[in-house]
Structure 1
Amino acid sequence: MRVIVAGGGIGGLAAALSLHAAGITDVTVLESATEIRPLGVGINVLPHAVRELTELGLADRLAALGVPTGELAYFNRFGQAIWSEPRGIDAGYRWPQYSVHRGGLQMLLLDAVRERLGADAVHTGRAVTSYEDLPQGVRAHTSSGHLDGDVLVAADGIRSAIRRQLFPDEGPPPWNGLVLWRGISRAPAFLTGRTMIMAGDGSEKFVAYPLTSEPDADGNRLLNWIAERPLDTPPPAPGDWNRKAEPADVLAHFGHWRFPWLDIPAVVAAADAVYEYPMVDRDPLPRWTHGRVTLLGDAAHAMYPIGSNGASQAILDARVLAWRLATCPVDDALAAYEAERRPATTAIQQANRGLGPEIVMRIVHERAPHGFTDIDDVLTRAEREAAAAGYKRTAGFDPALLNERASYTVGTGSQA
């Protein structure tokens, strides 16, 4: 079987590795960029995705790359604690949660693809522009010729050319009126040193977590941060992660956000670069698979960056797709892949539009806009626990369910 993967991002590279591990070795990745470089800022890889990368033999590389997140904590805009919970191993998972640099994770996957599938498995500077059906396969048209295969996996991102061909009337990704500013700064560790914090009111929000465990000579660590708020004007480039902004743009709104344990203006001012990203996603689709073409990752289900799920869900897509293609006839495999993954990711997209577990910050602001003395008088522990647990079930990383779920590794005999 020959599989063509459009897109050399996290989802596309994870698909190539998963297919190879499942015994499908004739895989070609076509990437539009002329060079794959470690771009971007930080992301979180949740335990359900870490499990899949571990089963691909990448556990040691991943551990060397990131910080094992030990705690997720929510605060109001004044820095008062709303809710905190352990994460990863500390929460009873068999696998950690990692905070990593997005570009670092992409390069880790790229190196593994080239080692296992060969140096020529990834073709850069070759964007997939369209496709056509063949009697028993598919032809991918690219910026430099065409390539025939049995299956085309469109992992070409939120502005996917393949998705646009399948749904030509869809239009650009819809914007929800919010903007994210993102950056990486050197700053002192805060709280436990392995804490991911979210502070805000459901409209304005600041997120921060460490990307390195060891301090530098000045006692600082790399800290990833995100500042979010409504934007007064429409975004110039929806879906573009690389639009530069200035720290002053952020400080105009977050310059007074100082907590006893985190000086947010100092963190923002210390960033080497700041990137502006309008908050966009994609509407859930009625189908992903058309003949021998299917969608994966952001091309299938671009979602708001809430709950740290985008990259993790793309990795899950890759593993399920490879497992199905290795164990079923092609057409049945693609149908089974979509049947498992499309409803699951649709539920996450919809949950993220409702703020997912971050809804606790909005509720607390609505009930106590000027702060509180006792959080239990504002939002009960039962309400806080329900918000966290419900999202874990929706996103597929409830600890008990994940720990007991059968493996997607072909040949283990553990999947029904």
Structure 2
Amino acid sequence: MKKLRVAVIGAGMGGLATAAALQRSGIEAHVYEQAAKFTRLGAGIQIGCNAIKVMREFGLEPVLRNECFYPRSWNNKEFDTGEVRFDMEFGALAEERYGAPYLLGHRGDLHAALASAVNPATINLGHKLVGFEQMTDGAVQLTFDGQSPVTYDAVVAADGVHSLVKKTLFGHDEPNFTGRIAYRTVFPASLLNGYEIDDCTKWWGPDRHIVIYYVKPDRSEVYFVTSQPDPGFTVESWSAMGDVKELRAAFEGFHPQVGRVLEACPSVHKWALVDRDPLPRWSDGNVTLLGDACHPMTPYMAQGAAMAIEDAAVLSRCLDGVDRDGVAQAFQRFEATRKPRTSRVQLSSRTNTWLKDPSNPDWVYEYDAWNVPLAAATEVV
């Protein structure tokens, strides 16, 4: 059987994880990314035990342990008194319970690790997708701005919330602006002048919260992300800058630890928090969506990237041993396997109640994308 050739659109977390998983299974996968180069964007990321299990198969666990912070817990506290609402312990307890560590890192470091698991010759930067066409023989022709068309047996669109592929296949959908905004930044811990913060804490206020944690094993970098009302702001961009003074004013009255962190931070980014409903369909023929392109979610469970990374492992299993004629059914099987879980996480995250009070998170962290049962052929429609 001729080796399957797959084009992956987008070199974010989901796209790189998909390429790594497909290449690991012997499939020829090529990544196309519109950016001209990779940059270390200033944001933290929580890497759940469920995501680590996927990346362990790429040989990345030692790298991530070396680059990331290993927290004792995810502690949920009252915004002003610091009273503990729920202390979700991680560390060695999580490793024993879920079979993998829970790590806190910098998005740039996680991205670099995933990129290292992909054959560099197969990563094509500076390629902006402008259109595609499914041919009568099942092949898919891709057109990139200023480039000659290329043809593949299958296409995986990991091109994010503004996915051109999603818009082309299923039409444009307006995001549901939540009326809330988030500020975020990473800055050197040295700016705290020796002041120690908790490993990872979410400070719960009446109508707003802030999550603060270290992102390096030596505690040299601090990250925070907020959520608060701001109905008039509708910029859905991770690069828009915010006003530090406005941010500090928005969290007056919070615990002194929060005040010290906000006083030390030199600059922040600001973006509107949006929500989208689960899509009715993810694929059409030999083209499928993956990650944020088909199940974007609010950040309140810290599982957006993890869901895309899980997608990658399950998709590679569905495509294993498949030829071009079997791709469409493999994509349907992928959707049937993944949609119940991603929809549950998507809708659970929407409520912003995750770990606010004592709860059992096993259903999130014990998931193993390499071994979860795939949907039976009879479940594929």
Percent sequence identity is: 28
Partners of 1:88 and 1:319 in 2: CA distance: 25
Pick closer, same or farther for the CA change 1:340–1:54 going to 2, 3 Å. Answer: same
Partners of 1:125 and 1:112 in 2: CA distance: 20
Contact kept? 1:67, 1:100, Cα under 8 Å: yes
1:267 equivalent in alignment to 2:275: no
**What is aligned with 1:286?**
280
Shift of 1:69: 2.5
**SS across alignment from 1:301:** coil
**What is aligned with 2:212?**
208
Partners of 1:84 and 1:247 in 2: CA distance: 29
Q: How does 1:85-234 map to 2 (within 5 A)?
A: 85-91=88-94, 92-113=97-118, 117=119, 119-134=120-135, 135-145=137-147, 146-171=149-174, 173-185=175-187, 186=189, 187=192, 188-191=195-198, 195-201=199-205, 203-215=207-219, 221-234=220-233
Please tell me the residue identity of whatever aligns with 2:215: L
Partners of 1:305 and 1:13 in 2: CA distance: 20
Q: How does 1:399-410 map to 2 (within 5 A)?
A: 402=367, 407=371
**What is aligned with 2:66?**
64
Encode CA deviations 1:221-272: one digit per residue, 9 max, x unaligned.
311111221004131x22x11111121120111133234xx2x222123224
Please tell me the residue identity of whatever aligns with 1:130: G
Q: Under a length normalisation based on structure 2, what TM-score does the superposition of the two structures give? A: 0.89
**SS across alignment from 1:67:** coil
Pick closer, same or farther for the CA change 1:169–1:8 going to 2, 3 Å. Answer: closer
Partners of 1:60 and 1:307 in 2: CA distance: 25
Shift of 1:120: 2.5
Encode CA deviations 1:81-106: one digit per residue, 9 max, x unaligned.
11112125323221001101011111
Partners of 2:93 and 2:241 in 1: CA distance: 37
Contact kept? 2:166, 2:293, Cα under 8 Å: yes
Partners of 1:275 and 1:408 in 2: CA distance: 37
Encode CA deviations 1:202-233: one digit per residue, 9 max, x unaligned.
62101111112325xxxxx3111112210041
Please tell me the residue identity of whatever aligns with 2:265: A
Match of 1:331 among 305, 328, 333: 328
Please tell me the residue identity of whatever aligns with 2:232: T
Unpaired stretches in structure 1, ≥5 consecutive residues: 216-220, 361-383, 410-416
**SS across alignment from 1:339:** helix
Contact kept? 1:189, 1:210, Cα under 8 Å: no
Contact kept? 2:313, 2:370, Cα under 8 Å: no
Encode CA deviations 1:113-163: one digit per residue, 9 max, x unaligned.
1xxx2x331111111222211122211221133221011100001111111
Encode CA deviations 1:379-415: one digit per residue, 9 max, x unaligned.
xxxxx43xx21x542xx324xxx47x86379xxxxxx
Please tell me the residue identity of whatever aligns with 1:341: R
Partners of 2:36 and 2:345 in 1: CA distance: 33
Partners of 2:44 and 2:206 in 1: CA distance: 21
Encode CA deviations 1:268-312: one digit per residue, 9 max, x unaligned.
232243100111132210010100000111101110001110011
Partners of 1:63 and 1:106 in 2: CA distance: 14
Encode CA deviations 1:60-93: one digit per residue, 9 max, x unaligned.
1111110122201111221221111212532322
**What is aligned with 2:377?**
none
**SS across alignment from 1:17:** helix
Pick closer, same or farther for the CA change 1:326–1:356 going to 2, 3 Å. Answer: farther
Contact kept? 2:179, 2:233, Cα under 8 Å: yes
- Superposed CA RMSD in Å reads 2.0
**What is aligned with 1:379?**
none
**What is aligned with 2:40?**
38
Match of 1:9 among 1, 12, 16: 12
Shift of 1:325: 0.3
Q: How does 1:292-311 map to 2 (within 5 A)?
A: 292-311=286-305
Please tell me the residue identity of whatever aligns with 1:112: A
Unpaired stretches in structure 2, ≥5 consecutive residues: 374-381
Contact kept? 1:183, 1:268, Cα under 8 Å: no
Count of residues in correspondence between the two structures: 358
